Amino acid sequence: MLRAFASAACTLTLGASVGGCTGAALSSGAATFDAAELSTNPTLLVATTRKPVKDARAKPWYGSERAAKLNIARAKLTPPGDGRFSLSAVGLGDWRLDAIEPASQIGDLYAEPGGTRDVLIYVHGFNQTFESAALDAAKISDGIRFRGETMVFSWPSKASLLDYGYDRESAMWSRDALDQVLTGLMASPITGRIHIVAHSIGTMLTMEALRQIYARQPAAGDRIGAVVFASPDIDLDGFTSSVARIGPLARRITVVTATNDRALAVSGLLAGGITRVGAAEKTELARLGLRVIDASAEGWGIINHDLFLSNAKVRRVIRRAIDGRPIEGA
């Protein structure tokens, strides 16, 4: 409900366009982009370390248990209606997941061979079902009007507020699988640039996978485009160490923080009082050579942990990062 109301507020006050950023932090801007490719071809690429439920033929598709191997599939979606009087016109429409089509390997995911295709990978955070993660991937791709393939990388989450420990361990356990996905995409001649948007705990396994790839093959990092860490739930000291280990890849990282992120405040308490990156002061992260956007002033809700989904200005930041354009205030 919080996401729905936040989305409605952004639609009513800021519109659905995605544009430039000006000013000291985040601003509206008037530029618009073509419709997202996912809205015209609603097929989401899937890579998951979750165990399939009933061969992924019906809901919940993939559960919270850990799979013996990485599962690759295509998800068939239905986008929200775009009529003038539809629910989506006031920000209350939603995507729907209709079917899963398993694939044998990463190269089989591309529907149309030939040419090169940029890929946007969404790595979800704590307390998510497979379906909610897939739909969030669709929302962010649609929200930034991404032109290319969109993939969700979904790791085994219990989707419960009381299972933070299980989620955290499952995320770390999945880092080799994300490494496998990124390596497989890089090996395909069809793949152009690979962009990553990771949220919350998902930033931790994403950083680990990038660190492994860079240590093994530094040149492979040239295929990575923008890396956006939204509300990163990762230890600040560990993150600082990892940034030093990934070389030039660090220059492609944009961090979206919010010092009033209540979820990260709780996470910090559970971690023994260690500051989480997503709740750190901007100056601390800027010293690492990263682009940092403080979205504290953008959140009007109770939690402020998923502004990349609910706030149009934050989505503009993501779009500019993917386009390789300067981000004012970063």
pLDDT at res. 12: 30
Neighbours of 113 (CB within 10 A): 10
Asked whether the beta carbons of 77 and 100 are under 8 A apart, the reply is no
pLDDT at res. 76: 96
Which stretches of the chain score pLDDT less than 70?
A: 1-34, 82-93, 111-114, 259-274, 298-307, 328-330
What is the spatial distance between Cα 119 and Cα 62, in angstroms, rounded to a whole number?
22
Asked whether the beta carbons of 221 and 214 are under 8 A apart, the reply is yes
pLDDT at res. 86: 43
Cα 78–157–153 angle (5° rounding)? 50
pLDDT at res. 30: 35
Cα 58–167–198 angle (5° rounding)? 85
H or E element at residue 120: strand 117-123
Which tens digits make up the pLDDT trace of 221-247? 789 999 999 988 898 889 999 999 998
Neighbours of 180 (CB within 10 A): 17
pLDDT at res. 262: 59
pLDDT at res. 97: 96
pLDDT at res. 241: 94
Which tens digits make up the pLDDT trace of 102-118? 998 887 787 666 678 89
pLDDT at res. 112: 64
Q: Check residue 50 and give left, alpha or beta (phi > 0: left; psi -120 to 50: alpha).
A: beta
DSSP string, 243-266: HHHSGGGGGGEEEEE-TT-HHHHH
pLDDT at res. 115: 75
Q: Strand 149-154 relative to strand 43-52: parallel, antiparallel, unpaired?
A: parallel
Which residue carries 């940092």 as its tokens? 292
